[in-house]
Structure 1
Amino acid sequence: MMVAVALTACGGSTLPRQPQISTAIRGLSQGPQWLYTFGQCHSAPFSGICILSYPNGKYVGWIEDYAGSYVRSLCSDANGDLFVTINDTEAAVVEYLSHGTKLLNEGPYFPAGCAVDAATGNVAVANVNIGHTPGFLAIFVHGKGHPRFYKSKVIYSFVNCGYDADGNLFGDGTDRKGNILLGELPKGSKSIVVLQFSKRLYHAGPIQWDGSALAIGYGDGRARVIYQVRVSGSTAQIVGTTILRSHLFGYKFVGGFFVVGNSIVAAYPNGPKGPTVAAWPYPAGGNPQKILTRWSGHLYPSAITVTAAQ
């Protein structure tokens, strides 16, 4: 199993320093699929990345983080390798392997969302702006080495990213005026194309390929609505809409999601019975078909992924 961690600073213009990171992976057991989410686990130390079996939602174990770290996003590949972006006062990309760790140096930047290209193993990281320095998309070819950087003349800060089945990379974020935009870095290209969306976007949400379209979260400003989007040329067209409903929502923000076959798994932080991870029919949406877990305490909603157990 490999766990790659991208650590970030979370504000200001001070450049982060190299982190000291715990490599501990606790309580792991085998299973067909694992669901990773950031929050307080059911056993000590009650913080870090929780691992649940999927689809039954049973507690498997946790990946310990170091004091003060704050997970921003999780992404994974088909081999069960996990990549983590963390907001903190430090910055690096660290690759965890069974025989040790390896530093993947992105530089003194602020990574946010991440994505893995299933065909090549390339790892993409969306970077927000640092003060007056624009953000960008970074790609670690085959998930290692020094990244390649791609900037847009229009998109000033990148928040999330995702690949389609053809290896095209998409990233959403804002321009200098705060307008939400979607860009595409076509496979093999060095230039990011700003796409003309079929309606105005109000939020830069998670991006994932669902098998036939891009699933893009919360563009209407409501954090329960996911668009299915297809891209032709420089135009992005909404071809479907999924609405996640539940009487359990105590807070409108659903947060991170992950499409698994005909289900979509999502985390929401402030349900009346505590932070909750649930599964809904996809793309039908509606009410959840299963509550996977609840716990008291913190759950950061942008961080969730499902991958093969290791």
Structure 2
Amino acid sequence: MTTSAWRLMAAAALFASAACGGRSSIVATPAQPRLAVASLRPAAAKSALLYIADAGKFIVDVYTFPALKLAGKITGINRPQGECSDADGNVWITSTQGLQILEFAHGGRTPIKVLGDPAGYPAGCAVDPATNDLAVTNLTGFSGAGAVLIYRHGGGVPAVYQSAKQYYYFFAAYDSSGNLFTSGQTVKAAYSLALLTKGTHKLSSVAIKGATLYFPGTVAWLGSTIVLGDQLCGNRKLSCFYRGAVTGATVRITGVTHLKGACAIAQAVVEPAQLIGGNTAQCGRGGKSGVAVWPFPKGGHPSKSVAGLDMPVGATLSVAR
């Protein structure tokens, strides 16, 4: 994989060799993950849990929510990045270098399912709440463009979809009708958004009107409003989140949320009144990487934050059932 491809997962340059100008290479060495028994308090599993994938430390930190108290750590995942959860509270985590997607029960210590990725390097994921289909975005393929993989009902052999205009694939989200939207970049590193319409077998390009996005990040839905994260808001070293209305294959931007102290938020959990995500503070401001909660859509300064992370990427909220 090229250096430019490696640096795509966050504006802060997730991978050290790429950040230093070296040529990155991937060694596919799958490891069996485990949650350290001593670090998970039994009572914590009864609360909502926030999972933050720290790609720099090869660890997934698990916090109680909304308290943001560390409840445990998942170790052994080879470069954890994107995350997603289903209605039962099960959590999927992509292992980009391990070429796997792992499923954990809410508060679980070992995976309940491990899927192999036959097409490339998994980056993000999304679960269709109606069908439980699992969508996985491949940052790139093994020797070319990335793709979207759909594991029907969360298993089996995936169907693979590509867009002629999208080369890199980052994060994804389903709308309430089962349509899948995925953020990414063209081969020339321009922001792109692709759509897999429910019942079709082709990814189409989505036009964005009313704003220019520079670096792909979060894709989320709040009712009929799509939320798109930009890790280089205004082509500067800070993150913001655009809200938009979707008509066919067009997104019309209706608002933007600016976050204070947000250097690079790769993937965030977006809720009606708050936005939660890991912030990689490598913008030369002397900040510390961590997880934070911001008012949404108001934005501004975080209402709560916890330091101690290295290069956080994925974020998902799991609710106990």
TM range (shorter): 0.7 to 0.9
Residue 120 of structure 2 corresponds to 109
The one-letter code of the counterpart of 2:302 is P
Greater CA drift, 111-120 or 18-27: 18-27
- The question of whether the paired residues in 1 share the 8 Å contact of 2:58 and 2:80 is answered with no
Q: Is the counterpart of residue 221 in structure 1 residue 221 in structure 2?
A: no
Structure-2 separation of matches of 1:14 and 1:269: 22
Greater helix share, structure number: 2
Aligned twin of 2:4: none
Whether the 8 Å contact between 2:141 and 2:147 is mirrored in structure 1 is: no
- Give the partner amino acid of 1:309: A
Distance 1:18 1:142, change over 3 A: farther
Counterpart of 1:164 in structure 2 is 175
The one-letter code of the counterpart of 2:252 is: Q
Gaps of 5+ in 1: 1-9, 41-45
Gaps of 5+ in 2: 1-14
Shift in Å, 1:108: 4.6
Give CA deviations for 1:144-169 in whole Å, capped at 9, x if unaligned.
Answer: 11111111122122122111121110
The reply to whether residue 201 of structure 1 matches residue 216 of structure 2 is: no
Deviations 1:245-302 (CA, angstroms, capped at 9, x unpaired): 14xx6xx2233311134111122133856322221111111122222x222xx43232
RMSD: 2.8
Of 307, 312, 318, the residue aligned with 1:294 is: 307
1:245 pairs, out of 241, 248, 260, with 260
Taking the aligned partners of 1:191 and 1:39, their CA distance within structure 2 comes to: 33
Q: CA 1:254–1:15 in structure 2 vs 1: closer, same or farther (change >3 Å)?
A: closer
What amino acid maps onto 1:49 in structure 2? V
Instruction: Describe the shift of the 1:94–1:51 C-alpha distance in structure 2 as closer, same or farther (beyond 3 A).
Output: closer
Q: Give the distance between the partners of 1:108 and 1:233, measured in 2 at CA.
A: 29
Q: Is the 8 A contact 1:33 1:308 kept in 2?
A: yes
Q: Is the 8 A contact 2:52 2:277 kept in 1?
A: no
**Residue 309 (structure 1) shift:** 3.1
Is residue 232 from structure 1 mapped to residue 247 from structure 2 by the alignment?
Answer: yes
Question: How many pairs does the alignment contain?
Answer: 286
Matching residue's letter, 1:200: T
C-alpha distance in 2 between matches for 1:294 and 1:187: 40
Q: Does structure 1 residue 86 correspond to structure 2 residue 95?
A: yes
Q: Which residue of 2 aligns with 1:19?
A: 30
Deviates more, 1:97-106 or 1:219-228: 97-106
Q: Which residue is equivalent to 1:5? A: none
Task: Give secondary structure in 2 for the equivalent of 1:299.
Answer: coil
Alpha-carbon separation, structure 2, partners of 1:277 and 1:128 = 23
TM-score where L is the length of structure 1: 0.82
2:76 maps to amino acid: D
SS in 2 for 1:236: strand
Distance between the aligned counterparts of 1:282 and 1:161, measured in 2?
Answer: 20
Q: How does 1:1-310 map to 2 (within 5 A)?
A: 17=28, 19-26=30-37, 27-28=40-41, 29-39=44-54, 48-66=59-77, 69-88=78-97, 90-96=98-104, 101-130=112-141, 132-198=143-209, 199-218=211-230, 220-222=234-236, 223-246=238-261, 252-270=263-281, 272=286, 274-291=288-305, 293-295=306-308, 298-309=309-320
Alpha-carbon separation, structure 2, partners of 1:178 and 1:59 = 36
CA distance in structure 2 between the partners assigned to 1:83 and 1:49 by the alignment: 11
Aligned to 2:6: none
Separation in structure 1 between the aligned mates of residue 277 and residue 26 of structure 2, nearest angstrom: 33
Matched residue type, 1:232:
T
Q: Given that residues 119 and 142 in structure 2 are in contact (C-alpha distance below 8 angstroms), is that contact kept between their aligned partners in structure 1?
A: no
In the superposition, the TM-score normalised over structure 2's length comes to 0.79
